[in-house]
Amino acid sequence: MNLQGKVALITGASSGIGEGVARAFAAKGVKVGLAARRIDKLKSLADEIQSNGGEAMSIAMDVIDPASVEKGVKSLMERFGVIDILVNNAGIMPAADIDAFKTDEWKSMVDVNINGLLNATASVLPGLIAQHSGHIINLSSIAGRKLFKGLAVYCASKHFVAAFSDIMRMEIGKKHNIRVTNIQPGAVATNLYDQITDKNYKEGMENLREQITFLTPRDIANSMIYALEAPDHLDVSEMFILPVDQEW
């Protein structure tokens, strides 16, 4: 795919990987729809992109609310006329042992990491099918391949993303000319760990920062650009990306 002039919807674009992807895509000539709940952060990012010669639109969107997603997708279509790329990036990662019974956190992870991805996919995919082209990129995690104590529900949600992504590729790839890529990063320098309320696991994650050199959001964005720019006959279905010194 030639990215110049293409239109991308990026969920969770107000910080972390989503923010980094937005900047990288805009630098390649992609018109970016920046979706998240924090509209003030999105407007600031959109202003920055536009001041650098790019095109961006901030979209107030709560991915767990289908109506909010539909409204955001409609507004992006009205602005640019098409959506070529969907990046399902929105996600949360609280950590605690199962017997801590942080059931609100369990529900939130299922709502955002699973239902949020499904809502965005259900809203954007019909348009991609109609135009017989497009690319969907789903953010899974190392936790979508491996299991970690304290991350039972998070791991389960990211295993879901990995499975859903590959079956989506099987079902819509050849039939509708839509490529699907599942990105599975290891440790990335974002604010994801700020969501951990369990003291022991939060300290463990903070200590990890001193032990290995984390990936950057730009590293993840570059992997997406590689997948997007691959020849039309080639689908980069899965990418597992780790810091060199992350042994687990």
* Per-residue model confidence (pLDDT) at position 247: 80
pLDDT digit string, tens, across residues 132-153: 999 999 999 999 999 999 999 9
Any domain includes 247: no
Other C-beta atoms closer than 10 Å to the C-beta of 129 total 15
pLDDT digit string, tens, across residues 73-91: 999 999 999 999 999 999 9
d(CA 4, CA 154): 35
Residue 154 falls in the annotated catalytic set? yes
How many domains, in total, are found in the chain?
1
The active-site residue out of 154, 193, 201, 226 is 154
| CATH code: domain of residue 235 | 3.40.50.720
- Residue ranges making up the domain that contains 25: 7-241
Any domain includes 248: no
Any domain includes 48: yes
* Per-residue model confidence (pLDDT) at position 195: 75
CA dihedral 23, 25, 31, 36 (to 10 degrees): -60
Any domain includes 246: no
Q: Determine phi and psi for 215, rounding to 5 degrees.
A: -65, 165
* Per-residue model confidence (pLDDT) at position 16: 94
**Which residues sit opposite 181 in a β-bridge?**
137
Cβ-contact 117, 138 below 8 angstroms: yes
Any domain includes 24: yes
Three-state SS for the chain is CCCCCCEEEEECCCCHHHHHHHHHHHHCCCEEEEEECCHHHHHHHHHHHHHCCCCEEEEECCCCCHHHHHHHHHHHHHHHCCCCEEEECCCCCCCCCHHHCCHHHHHHHHHHHHHHHHHHHHHHHHHHHHHCCEEEEEECCHHHCCCCCCCHHHHHHHHHHHHHHHHHHHHHHHHHCEEEEEEEECCECCCHHHHCCCHHHHHHHHHHCCCCCCECHHHHHHHHHHHHCCCCCCCCCEEEECCCCCCC
Cβ-contact 215, 186 below 8 angstroms: yes
Any domain includes 1: no
Query: With a cut of 50, which residues of the chain have pLDDT below it?
Result: none
* Per-residue model confidence (pLDDT) at position 181: 98
